[in-house]
Amino acid sequence: MLTHNQIWKGVDLLAARTGLTPSGLARRAGMDSTTFNVSKRTSPDGSRPRWPSTESIAKALDAVRVDFEEFAALATGASRTRSVPLIGFAQAGNDGFFDDAGFPVGQGWEEVVFPGVEDAHAYALEISGDSMVPVYRDGDRVVVAPGELPRRGDRIVVRTRDGEVMAKELVRFTEEGLELASLNPEYPGRSLKTAEISWMARIVWASQ
């Protein structure tokens, strides 16, 4: 059985793995932004622990597509780890580094270790520049899963056929193309036609 501290640790790690705060995780799950606040974790006088509801945990897990087994592993520190290749954003824009499905090709990549990454084709990208602040900053590393189909609200990495690589939030995904929201309010969103897209991959973990 998970302890009170483990449950809340799991919530914090669940948020962090996709670059969210606990408040951001609650909003992503369609709940009040204060649902997972630190102030909600004990009684007002601090004498009694408060637990998140089963429903709120279930909604959070569904929002970031994590099952309870993996959540429990995060909470207890027993999550599995694996090595994934690390690729720079500048490299990701060059031809020859990826196949048509967006999987990295070749050998000799530097590798980094991340927990809880199931996609056999997952790899890490190192963020460069400020176009993704405050969510991702220069030097942050994100793990992407090209084998997972993104859905509305997911953060994704997209490469255009012109070699532009960007991390955005998926607003709409249709046969005609994508509508993307910028992670940095100083940068505009984007609309891309299907013919303009080389590949896209869902962000499943962030190290900051």
Distance, in Å, from the CA atom of 80 to the CA atom of 53, rounded to the nearest integer, reads 26
pTM of the shown model? 0.69
Q: Is the domain of 92 the same as that of 143?
A: yes
Residue 131 CB contacts under 8 Å (≥ 6 apart), including other chains: 166, 182, 183, 184, 187
Q: Is the domain of 135 the same as that of 173?
A: yes
Give 144 or 90, the one with higher predicted confidence: 144
Q: Is the domain of 87 the same as that of 61?
A: no
Indicate the residue among 18, 45, 76 that finishes a domain: 76
Q: Is the domain of 141 the same as that of 196?
A: yes
Q: Is the domain of 89 the same as that of 190?
A: yes
Average pLDDT over the chain, rounded to whole?
A: 86
Q: Is the domain of 48 the same as that of 86?
A: no
Indicate the residue among 22, 43, 76 that finishes a domain: 76
Q: Give the pLDDT band of residue 80 (cuts 50, 70, 90).
A: low
Q: Is the domain of 137 the same as that of 190?
A: yes
CATH of the domain at 9: 1.10.260
Q: Give the pLDDT band of residue 101 (cuts 50, 70, 90).
A: low
CATH of the domain at 86: 2.10.109.10
Of 101, 162, 26, 203, nearest to 190 (Cα)? Answer: 162
Indicate the residue among 25, 53, 76 that finishes a domain: 76
Q: Is the domain of 45 the same as that of 121?
A: no
pLDDT at residue 117 tops 80: no
Q: Give the pLDDT band of residue 48 (cuts 50, 70, 90).
A: very high
Full domain range(s) for residue 95: 81-207
- For the segment 131-185, what is each residue's pLDDT rounded down to a tens digit? 888 888 888 888 898 888 898 989 999 989 988 888 899 999 999 999 999 989 8
Share of the chain above pLDDT 70, in %: 87
Q: Is the domain of 71 the same as that of 101?
A: no
Give 69 or 139, the one with higher predicted confidence: 139
Distance, in Å, from the CA atom of 163 to the CA atom of 114, rounded to the nearest integer, reads 27
User: What is the β-pairing status of strands 197-207 and 190-193?
Assistant: unpaired
Structural domain count of the chain: 2
Q: Is the domain of 42 the same as that of 117?
A: no
Q: Is the domain of 90 the same as that of 114?
A: yes
Q: Is the domain of 63 the same as that of 91?
A: no
At 74, give phi and psi (nearest 5°): -60, -45
Q: How large is the average pLDDT for residues 18-40?
A: 93
Predicted local confidence at residue 115, as pLDDT: 63
pLDDT at residue 208 tops 70: no
pLDDT at residue 98 tops 80: no
